[in-house]
Amino acid sequence: SKEYRIELPDEASMVAFGAKIAQATQGHGVIFLLGDLGMGKTTLSRGVIRGFGHQGSVKSPTYTLVEPYEVNGKHIYHFDLYRLSDPEELEYLGIRDYFDEQALCLVEWPDKGRGMLPAADLVLQIALLGYGRQLSWTPQTALGQIMADKLMS
């Protein structure tokens, strides 16, 4: 299958690529963000949310697990499941309501929610590359395939 990847040498380029993701999704779908602590998952999410026109801050939802945004009519849910000890806890969060088709869900540490999350449309992986990062992505659905190609253009 096709390899989708890009080198992002600094934080600014990461944020800029986030805006491209915003465009590619148009505010719908499920994106999993993989990569170790400090790789830039939250930075990239900030870029996506700002890409829709959000002016305020984008904090890491490490303790809240999910941070909702409504920007120009788009619903975005930014998850960080790092601190989730049991995927079943997501039931109490009302997880199903978040993943409706009208929303874009960005999920950091999706492995922690294994069994409770819907399938991702797109899986993004961030790895260290010198002082910068290499971002690669894999489509998992037809919608994800459209996103993946848009990100490459």
State the residues that interact with Mg ion by CB under 5 A: 41-42, 60, 108
108 vs 121, beta carbon nearer Mg ion: 108
- Least distance to ligand ADP, CB of residue 102, Å: 25
Kindly list the residues in this chain that would bind ligand ADP in the complex (CB under 6 A).
8-11, 13-14, 35, 37-43, 60, 108, 131-133
Listed in sequence order, the residues at least 6 apart from 134 whose beta carbon sits closer than 8 Å to its beta carbon are 5, 6, 7, 8, 126, 127, 128
Residue whose Cβ sits closest to Mg ion: 42
Burial 116-130 (b: 16+ CB within 10 A, else e): bbeebbbbbbbeeee
Which residues on neighbouring strands pair with residue 33, listed in sequence order?
108, 124
| Nearest distance from C-beta of residue 6 to ligand ADP, angstroms | 10
43 binds, among ligand ADP, Mg ion, none (CB under 5 to 8 A by kind): ligand ADP
- Shortest distance in whole angstroms from residue 89 CB to ligand ADP: 20
- Closest to Mg ion by CB, 24 vs 34, is 34
Please, are residues 99 and 128 in contact by the beta-carbon 8 Å criterion?
A: no
Rounded to whole angstroms, what are the CA distances from 89 to 26, 100, 113, 125? 29, 19, 9, 25
> Whose Cβ is closer to Mg ion: residue 52's or residue 79's?
79
